[in-house]
Amino acid sequence: MTHSVADPLKVVLLMRAPQGRSFSVEAVFTTVADHMPDDIEASYDVSPHVSKGILRRLRAAFHARRAARGADVAHVTGDTHFVALALPRRRTVLTVHDCEFLDRSRGIKRFILWLFWMWWPVRHAAAITVVSETSKAQLLQWLRLDPARIEVVENPLSKRLPRSERPLDMQRPRLLMIGTEAHKNIARVAEAVADLPVTLAVIGRLPDELRARIGALGVPLDARFDLSDAELAEAYARADILMFPSLSEGFGLPIIEAQSVGRPVVTSDRSPMREVAGDAALLVDPVDPDTIRAAVVRLMKEPDLVPRLVADGLLNVNRFAPSLAAERYAQIYRRVAEQAE
């Protein structure tokens, strides 16, 4: 069946319940929904049930089933993969952002996560999407799947962060880091810049032991969490450099957020960060503090480098226009709906 503006395809994007102000997945897919072509009527539903405990997760699954009633396609947008089990298989799209939660777990917990968050939901979906070639490779490490079933749709630039024209201070730069999980590599960055005249600005709940370690190194620290969108925009504007030398990522959205604001980026010479950054970042070995330090020193001492990276970054973000991601998802929705008829 062909849909049109007069008879649009109805798609509901199912989102996890927010915890604190961690909205990166939600921001991506509300942006996608808002940029859908005219033949698709996209809405989004935020679960009222936090994904904690068996009972609340069952409620989340039944809520998703109710929210998807009457839709031509239901899209589980990430994290709460298990709700796909409550949806019609032939009309369900599942997005997997990364497999970090499996890498971090062990024993029976890992098996339960693998079964209910990966193996079963993936087999209960008509289409599977991931946000990078890296997340596709991660998924294939955990599941025996035909690679052709997994479609890569890169995340769009989801937050409309205003470009900041503030002159950057490379004499005493403020280094911004987003996220405090172990793979964000904060301790190694602190070690790398310990004797440099910098301030480390961290967004996220900082564990006490990590805070103490940074303090012992003598690195000035400004740590904040639960920021609103306006406060996050201010954090980017106040920064002089984004430090994103992660050990692993499914995508790496802060890279293009910082580039859109007009900030130079230091990130890992690993996939997918180097692909997301394009030629508009300094790439480092994330396990070598010396290379991380060298990148910061280059930005502090090479006056022509910063404006070049900023200009290249502003060009790079054009690759992540929301309309491009929306059209890719629209193609998937149309195919799923047609095959379900």
For the stretch 201-257, pLDDT in tens is 999 999 999 999 999 999 999 999 989 889 999 999 999 999 999 999 989 999 999
* Structure confidence at residue 3 (pLDDT): 63
* Structure confidence at residue 25 (pLDDT): 82
Report CA dihedral (82, 20, 272, 34) to the nearest 10 degrees: 80
pLDDT bucket at 27, cuts 50 / 70 / 90:
confident
For residue 23, pLDDT beyond 70: no
* Structure confidence at residue 82 (pLDDT): 97
For residue 1, pLDDT beyond 60: no
pLDDT bucket at 104, cuts 50 / 70 / 90:
confident
- Once rounded to an integer, what is the mean pLDDT over residues 85-96? 97
* Structure confidence at residue 44 (pLDDT): 92
The domains of the chain, with CATH numbers, are 9-156+321-340 (3.40.50.2000), 174-319 (3.40.50.2000)
DSSP H helices in the chain: 24-34, 54-67, 100-104, 107-113, 120-123, 133-142, 186-192, 208-217, 229-238, 253-261, 273-277, 289-301, 305-316, 322-340
For residue 326, pLDDT beyond 60: yes
Report whether 235 contacts 201 (CB < 8 A): yes
Report whether 145 contacts 241 (CB < 8 A): no
For the stretch 122-170, pLDDT in tens is 999 999 999 999 999 999 999 999 999 999 999 999 877 899 999 999 9
pTM: 0.86
* Structure confidence at residue 184 (pLDDT): 96
Report whether 203 contacts 22 (CB < 8 A): no
Q: Is 79 left (phi over 0), alpha (psi -120 to 50) or beta?
A: left
Alpha carbons 261 and 164: distance in angstroms, whole number: 6
- Once rounded to an integer, what is the mean pLDDT over residues 80-104? 95
* Structure confidence at residue 293 (pLDDT): 98
Mean pLDDT over the full length of the chain: 94
* Structure confidence at residue 18 (pLDDT): 79
pLDDT bucket at 4, cuts 50 / 70 / 90:
low
Output the DSSP codes for 14-25.
EEPPP-TT--HH
For residue 318, pLDDT beyond 70: yes
Alpha carbons 230 and 85: distance in angstroms, whole number: 36
For residue 331, pLDDT beyond 80: yes
pLDDT bucket at 341, cuts 50 / 70 / 90:
confident
For residue 2, pLDDT beyond 70: no
223: enclosing H helix or E strand:
strand 221-224
Tokens 């796909």 map to which residue?
Answer: 84
